[in-house]
Structure 1
């Protein structure tokens, strides 16, 4: 399998400007609450020994990972309490590429939070606060987030990503069952798939993540009809782990978790998308 860095002998066709994917705001709200509930249930079943164990994410313990999950939803309440900026400056399509510079502060905030109240109390407080403020929140409100002003409905989609990615981290670190809300898993899959298309624009390779997403990416000869010459296909959780660096491309291929065919079906040069 060759690298995807090859160039086409033919001039690229004029690409149509693609409209950003839209998300139903009511379904997103329901997905956020459902996935938070699944994560909370898993956390409440953890023993002190499990909470003190390693999370697999740097130096974080499982307790710190759980605290971070509560913080991901606690931020919704916190940001809604701040003055609304005049306009959004970060789109949902940009968001995956804006988080890395804030990783240090996020880690520090997580450590402080985990050293305070027991994680079960953190989740209980966030659940109560969400029940109070979320029903009246305006989806079109501009909200100041850690990475910049965002439309509130878009920010809620990013909470699906946080809850699914770190809920999977929690399950793998502890062996606990973490259920995945279908809509939350779909949103997470689609956000990261669309980010791939932004990071590696083109139309020579089709990436399929059934049943939630299909995107085209990678420069090269444009595919117009019939079976694409370059295809990558995988399941949602494997895709999410690849896109966030939890799984390496070579390992996924070796374990047959990814099907890749065609000379431009090697994504190793563009993964991960976000950490």
Structure 2
């Protein structure tokens, strides 16, 4: 938990700094997650980063039923689920008129969630919005991946070099590889692996074969 929590805090702090530097026109740019624009993408990230606050206020369920990889299973991205996600972010984005509001809302989302995590006992289990019981540490891994990967989407929308903090890159890569090394024959760093394995950059047939041969997970993840 300390490692994953540190990754969550580092990636959120980095994204928050980017948000505070946005220009008003940036919010209306197309994002890397169509049909959202940047404002709507960040509204989605705010909701995801802050989700733990409510989850931790609820009674803990019994034993965990799914891990972080299972959370990103294809069933979680059925068309009706995706449409609800799209509509929710569009609605929430209406309350974000400018970059200052966007940055403030993100801080209001992730910081209380982080504080709530710090108050939990070891072995805490939470129930996700999909109804699954998950170990808190495993669910926090999904938050690191969400914030990190949507940061890649934001970088693409802004025309900037992509970023991942070292801590978040380590957490995301461990999830994708199951703790194994990134396949050396690809010559990729962790950021490249995360971008390609989550669909941010198309894979060639060779790359897909190497990833499959190495057992690298390609998570079902909203594009």
Please state which band the TM-score falls in when normalised by the shorter chain: 0.7 to 0.9
Q: In the TM superposition, what is the alpha-carbon distance from 1:141 to its structure 2 partner?
A: 1.2
Q: Secondary structure at the match of 1:234?
A: coil
TM-score computed with the length of structure 1 as normaliser? 0.67
Aligned pair count reads: 211
The match for 1:273 is 219
Q: Which runs of 5+ in 2 are unaligned?
A: none
Q: Secondary structure at the match of 2:72?
A: helix
Q: Which has the higher contact order (CA 8 A, sep 6+)?
A: 2
Provide the C-alpha distance between the structure 1 equivalents of 2:114 and 2:134, rounded to a whole number of angstroms: 22
Confirm or deny: 8 A CA contact 1:243 1:271 kept in the other structure: yes
The match for 1:197 is none
Task: After TM superposition, list the pairs within 5 Å mapping 1:36-115 onto structure 2.
Answer: 36-97=12-73, 98-101=75-78, 102-115=81-94
Q: Secondary structure at the match of 2:65?
A: coil
Per-residue CA deviations over 1:55-99 (Å, capped at 9, x if unaligned) read: 021110001111122222111112112222122111223222153
Instruction: Determine if the alignment matches structure 1 residue 165 to structure 2 residue 149.
Output: yes
Confirm or deny: 8 A CA contact 2:26 2:38 kept in the other structure: yes
The match for 2:201 is 247
Q: In the TM superposition, what is the alpha-carbon distance from 1:168 to its structure 2 partner?
A: 1.0
Q: Which runs of 5+ in 1 are unaligned?
A: 1-24, 195-211, 217-229
Q: Secondary structure at the match of 1:265?
A: helix
Provide the C-alpha distance between the structure 2 equivalents of 1:236 and 1:99, rounded to a whole number of angstroms: 25
Provide the C-alpha distance between the structure 2 equivalents of 1:139 and 1:32, rounded to a whole number of angstroms: 18
Provide the C-alpha distance between the structure 2 equivalents of 1:273 and 1:92, rounded to a whole number of angstroms: 10
Give the superposed CA RMSD.
Answer: 2.9
Q: Which has the larger radius of gyration?
A: 1
